[in-house]
Structure 1
């Protein structure tokens, strides 16, 4: 394989953008392991008392990820996220105003490999979420497992990440004063295994838990489609039924975490590596679906609203796709 090296005269701003993405990638792939190892080493050192004090704090703070988290505006507004945004670049597109007196569930599609658009738009202020949607506080839901890792949990909460437990979602969308936005990557870990350039298959047909909670608490549903999310990485071929896909599915069912074998470009060369491609991401926030609060929704209620949601998501995609380079004959596939 011929290696294409990066030219030496790349502008400094582009090098800073790559560094910003590299630290984000490290935080997704290795920071949790480093935090856990550091905590264990601290507990075994002469400074073990610090580890014990933190363990006590962790016990007292155990439920915070399920009770709205603990965000830091300083972290969300940190300058590094603007460089992260400009690498791709990432843009947040508003189609209409949202009333801050309501609570919302944003259904984010597609999941992609690492939910780059979801993170950039809803865990930072790099794309001006607070200016576009004044009075609303976005929270991106993440697997509960990650909030059990010492120190790492505090870092991810600072950006607005919260646990994806049902109790966490219920806490957010049941606030009587409104203003909360729960962002759910509906396709979850299984959809990440199909994330590759050109993919338009969404794991949503049997995903109805968020629909039930929207009905229960009267939260408005908003479909969100992130154009370009699947263009950032390639994956090893893993068609359904293959030995690789079977292994991935088994590991996902055991661990709850998808393990896509993805690749893209490197830092100093463009032929291989784990750095995402420089592909634009346009995250479009659709029109809200009004939901009548139903404290005890039955299956018929859930199925009816689910169909309305799928229709709204499909309409959003069809209305916007040509603006972002998707041919007329390409359509979403719900699986």
Structure 2
């Protein structure tokens, strides 16, 4: 959480300090590499097993704890587009399950990374698509790429899905869901989000629903009514910069210490789609509806085992 909140600005500050020290040449050399490799992240993540296998990730997963349930196998030899919900404040469940190498189905210890990555996608190389702006920050982008993150841009996702044995994870709700951090709330922003379906159809890539039970309980946010000036400010910043500032707190009122609540990452069965280089709006709408039904079935099938009341239903907005 500290790296999520502060590593980007601190990386810029570190380079500025190096420029004013006797180590200025290091900053200049890295700056040259940074500019030369400006579009490098568009080719996809640069997985570093050493980073993904840090011991701290075991403690990170155990803190909540994070558990992964696979509803069906994802056979290697092809690529998959995993649509994850909800976003929450910091995508903690998805980060723990996919970026850190994950944990085995049913909460068994993670497989230790390596080429097959174990966890939710044995035999596949998972990548988490994140805001493209993060990959413009010096140093921070190297950490993100090594951990398995990549920009959520059309050029990058086309590159990733064009390879075999890839599992590309996209947080469909994005910043809109980050503003919905109400504990116990199960509401996802999906009704008008169809770009991921169009992407899957263009590549003929199966769509895999992923739902994280407990994600909205990791942080608390003040209740903001629609139309209030804080909510309008959030949406204005989101429209301008692509992300929405969230006001949140965790244990002890700290914004970098989430509540220790169990997180269950349920990976559903793949929804097969045909390869349509230019899908029509009707075809996109058809498979979008099928995906929504799969996601609702996934939620209903696992909610009671994950501590959700039987009367609770998933709300699609």
2:170 aligns with one of 174, 181, 184: 184
2:254 aligns with one of 253, 259, 273: 273
Unaligned runs of 5+ residues in structure 1 are 1-24, 267-271
Structure 2 CA distance, aligned partners of 1:81 and 1:189? 25
Structure 1 CA distance, aligned partners of 2:275 and 2:48? 32
Structure 2 CA distance, aligned partners of 1:79 and 1:96? 28
- 1:33-58 deviation line (CA, Å, top 9, x unaligned): 00011112222334322222112211
CA deviation after TM superposition for structure 1 residue 289, in Å: 0.3
CA RMSD of aligned residues (A): 1.2
Structure 2 CA distance, aligned partners of 1:58 and 1:273? 33
Q: Which residue of 1 aligns with 2:146?
A: 158
- 1:259-287 deviation line (CA, Å, top 9, x unaligned): 11011213xxxxx2221111000000001
Q: Would the aligned equivalents of 1:251 and 1:258 in 2 still touch at CA under 8 Å?
A: yes
Structure 2 CA distance, aligned partners of 1:92 and 1:79? 19
Structure 1 CA distance, aligned partners of 2:53 and 2:274? 35
Are positions 1:293 and 2:279 aligned together? no
- 1:208-236 deviation line (CA, Å, top 9, x unaligned): 11111100011110000000101111101
Are positions 1:131 and 2:118 aligned together? yes
Structure 1 CA distance, aligned partners of 2:69 and 2:41? 28
Q: How many residues align?
A: 304
| Secondary structure at 2:238 match in 1 | helix
Q: Which has the larger radius of gyration?
A: 1
Are positions 1:174 and 2:162 aligned together? yes
Are positions 1:114 and 2:90 aligned together? yes
CA deviation after TM superposition for structure 1 residue 60, in Å: 2.6
Unaligned runs of 5+ residues in structure 2 are 104-109, 112-116
1:75 aligns with one of 51, 56, 62: 51
| TM-score, structure 2 as length reference | 0.93
| Secondary structure at 1:248 match in 2 | helix
Q: Would the aligned equivalents of 2:102 and 2:118 in 1 still touch at CA under 8 Å?
A: no
